[in-house]
Amino acid sequence: MTWVIWRQHRVEAVCAALGFVAATIILFYSIQLADSVRVSLSSVGQSDALVAFGDRVGAAATTTTFALLCLPVLVGMFIGAPLFARDFEHGTYRLLLTQSITRRKWFWMTSALLLVPIAATAAWLGVLGTRWSEALGSLSNQWYQFDEQGLAFASYVVFALSLGLSAGVLLRRAVPAMAAAAAAYVAVRAFVEVFIRPQLQPAVRIGQDAPIPDGSWVFSNTAYTDSSGRTVSADKVNQLLQSAGAIPGTVADYLHAHGISSWVYYQPPGRFWAFQAEEALIFLVLAAVLVGVAAFVVQSRSD
C-alpha cells in the first residue's frame, strides 16, 4: 500500500520537498543576515554602511515572512486538495477500492503518509522560524513573527493540509477543492488572528504614558475613563478635543486636566509561548475534526 501511495503522489512529494528546502534556505539566509547585523550593531554602533545593510535585513525579513505566510496555503491547495479529489475525479477510486483493501485503510494510510512527514517538516521550519525571530532580536518584536515560527506555524501547515484533503473528499473535484481550501484557510486564519488571538488571555491595561515592557504586543486602540473610572467613548473625547480648538501642550495632558485618563492595552512578552501553544491547539483541533469528518465521509458515503 505504501508503494502505491508513493507511486501515485511522488510528484507532489518531490515538489513539497523542494518547497521545504527552499523555505529552509531562505530562513538560514535570513538568520545569518540578522545575526551579523545585530552583532555589528552591538560592537561598531550605528554607521551608514550598517544602516544600508539593515535595509537588506528588512527586505529579507519581508521575503521570509511572505514565503512562510504562503507555504501553508500552497500545501493545502496543491497537496491536500488533490490527494483524494483526483481519484474521485478520474474514477480511479473505483479501481483502488475494488482491490483487496478497505476504505478505512485507504484513507488513513494515504492521509498519514502525507500528514506525518509534512507536519514534521513544518515543525522543523517552525524551529528555524523561532531561531530567526531570536536573531532579529531588538531589530524586531517577536510578536511580529508570531505566524512564522514555533508551534503556530507548524499547526497552520497541518490545518491547511487537513482542510485541503477534506475539501477534496467532500467536493470530489480537485480544482473546486483547491479553491475552497484556500478560501477557507485564509478566512479561518484571519478570523483567529483578528478576533481570537488578542483575547486568548485578557490584555494588560496601562496608562498611556507609562512604560510598556520591551517585546510586548501593544494594541492600537486607546481606551478612556473619567475620574470615577467609567468608560468614556472615543466620540465624546473627540467632541471635547474639537470644542477646545487649539490645545496647549499634549493631548494627554489636556485630557488629564479634564479628568480623563487614557489607557492602552498590551500582551506582555512572557505570554508569547503560551499564546503560541493556545493558537496551535486551536488549529490542531480543527485539523483533527476535518480529518475525522473526511474519514467518516469516505467510510460511509453511499455513492
Partner 1 sequence: MTLALEAVALRKRYGRTWALSDFSVSLPVGRVAALVGPNGAGKSTLLQLAVGLLRPSAGDIRVMGWSPRAHSQQVLPRVGFLAQDVPLFRGFSISDMLQVGRRLNPRWDQATATTRLQRLGISLSRSVGHLSGGQRAQVALAIALAKRPEFLLLDEPLASLDPLARHEFLKELMEAASTDGLTVLLSSHVIADLERVCDHLLLVNAGRLQVAGEIDDLMARHALLVGPQVEPDVVIPGVEVIKSLRNIRQTSLWVRAQRDDFRVPAGWQIRDLSLEEIVVAYLGNPDANAFPAPSLEGIAG
Q: Which residues here bind partner 1, judged by CB under 8 A?
A: 1, 3-4, 7-8, 90-103, 300-303
Q: How far is the C-alpha of 32 from the C-alpha of 197, rounded, in Å?
A: 30
Comparing CB distances to partner 1, the nearer of 96 and 170 is: 96
Query: Least distance to partner 1 from the beta carbon of 202, Å?
Result: 50
Query: Least distance to partner 1 from the beta carbon of 2, Å?
Result: 8
Q: Which three cell numbers stand for residue 64?
A: 521570509
Comparing CB distances to partner 1, the nearer of 90 and 258 is: 90
Query: Least distance to partner 1 from the beta carbon of 15, Å?
Result: 15
Where residue 212 falls (left for φ over 0; alpha for ψ -120 to 50; beta otherwise) is: beta
Comparing CB distances to partner 1, the nearer of 92 and 231 is: 92
Cα–Cα distances in angstroms (integers) from residue 179 to residues 171, 174, 175, 246, 262, in the given order: 11, 9, 6, 54, 45
Residue found under cell 544600508 = 52
The residues pairing with 263 across neighbouring beta strands, listed in sequence order, are 207, 223
Q: How far is the C-alpha of 297 from the C-alpha of 303, rounded, in Å?
A: 10
Query: Least distance to partner 1 from the beta carbon of 109, Å?
Result: 11
For the chain, the helix, strand and coil percentages under 3-state DSSP, each to the nearest 5: 75, 5, 15
Q: How far is the C-alpha of 226 from the C-alpha of 218, rounded, in Å?
A: 22
Query: Least distance to partner 1 from the beta carbon of 13, Å?
Result: 14
Comparing CB distances to partner 1, the nearer of 242 and 300 is: 300
Comparing CB distances to partner 1, the nearer of 103 and 131 is: 103
Rg of the chain, C-alpha, whole Å: 25
The residues pairing with 225 across neighbouring beta strands, listed in sequence order, are 231, 261
Query: Least distance to partner 1 from the beta carbon of 173, Å?
Result: 15
